Amino acid sequence: MQTLIELLHNKYRSLSTGKPASYIPELAKANAQDFAIVITTVNGEQFCAGDFDKQFTLQSTSKPFIYGMALAEYGREEVISKVGVEPTGEAFNSIVELEKRTHRPYNPMINSGAIAISSLIKGNNLKNRESNMMSMFEAFAGHQLEISNDVFESEKLTAHRNRSIAHLLRHFDVIDEKIDETLDLYFKQCSILVDTKDLSMMAATLANSGVNPNTKKSAIPSKYVGDVLSLMFTCGMYDSSGEWAYSIGVPAKSGVSGAIFGVVPGEFGIAVYSPPIDEKGHSTRGVEVFKEFSHECNLSIFRKTII
């Protein structure tokens, strides 16, 4: 495993396609040469290559975890009444794509769905809700995490599209009147700082039925892990989720900071970080690593059964 990821790192570190996200000013400052690959097994063993200690913000890779938190606190029926489970062919930040009859967001992996899920975080006030949210992310990572205030403020200053989405959700009673508080929570979850080892451990926690391989503590109930992975598989890569399922075949989630993580249930989690992204918002090096790694290890959940 170590040899393979070192080979992949050496092969793709010179790839020059894509560029760091620019619509959030702080993300545009990322070093385009940063590149890391980490695999964490369900036994807690880690295999690392590249700049694996370099910190970045979760951005949309936070969405599966916050969805798991909502399921744990409210149950499937309540959560699905707010956010659907259908893929959408639209971009991750589409304003117009709500279900025609229910006006729910199509799924929790796009911005409208993630904002609706953030509105469900419990607590008496913003500080308490933020604390509850951070406790969940820390259970996945296995240690204390911090929020990048610079990225949070940068997102808050430039998030005109997300504000439009939130007001549309409020118009249809998908979220309550605490629009600014909900958006702050959403921006904060996107601004949580991790490194590639952390994200790989979080992925391994999902691979390990919601139990952190190192701390042995449950981050979410095992009965909801399948819900999270199902939506990662069908919706996690936005409007290229179908292509990802076809060519790579593992549940995954990307973020515009340049992170992608994938989950092989019962085996391991894998995370790749490299800031240059393509037009879909996926790390260009990350996509290539996942393609070759999946092929070399026969990871596709469908092709595994075809001999």
256 catalytically annotated: yes
Catalytic residue among 42, 60, 254, 263: 60
Query: How many angstroms separate the CA atoms of 145 and 278, rounded?
Result: 28
CA-CA-CA-CA torsion sign (217, 254, 275, 33): positive
Q: Find the Cα–Cα–Cα–Cα dihedral 288, 261, 4, 50, rounded to 10°.
A: 90
Query: How many angstroms separate the CA atoms of 135 and 144, rounded?
Result: 8
Catalytic residue among 12, 67, 224, 238: 238
Query: How many angstroms separate the CA atoms of 50 and 36, rounded?
Result: 4
Structure tokens at 113: 């769905």
The number of angstroms, rounded, from the C-alpha of 25 to the middle of its chain's C-alpha atoms is 20
Please enumerate in sequence order all residues whose Cβ is within 8 A of that of 11, keeping only pairs 6 or more positions apart, or say none: 292
Which secondary-structure segment (H or E) carries 50? strand 46-50
Select from 249, 246, 261, 222 the least CA-distant residue to 109. 261
Query: How many angstroms separate the CA atoms of 81 and 174, rounded?
Result: 9
Query: How many angstroms separate the CA atoms of 36 and 198, rounded?
Result: 12
Catalytic residue among 151, 194, 256, 272: 256
Catalytic residue among 12, 67, 106, 186: 186
194 catalytically annotated: no
60 catalytically annotated: yes
* Residues 44/10, Cβ–Cβ less than 8 Å: no
3-state secondary structure of 211: strand
Number of H helices, E strands in the chain: 12, 8
* Residues 188/130, Cβ–Cβ less than 8 Å: yes
Active site residues: 60, 63, 186, 238, 256
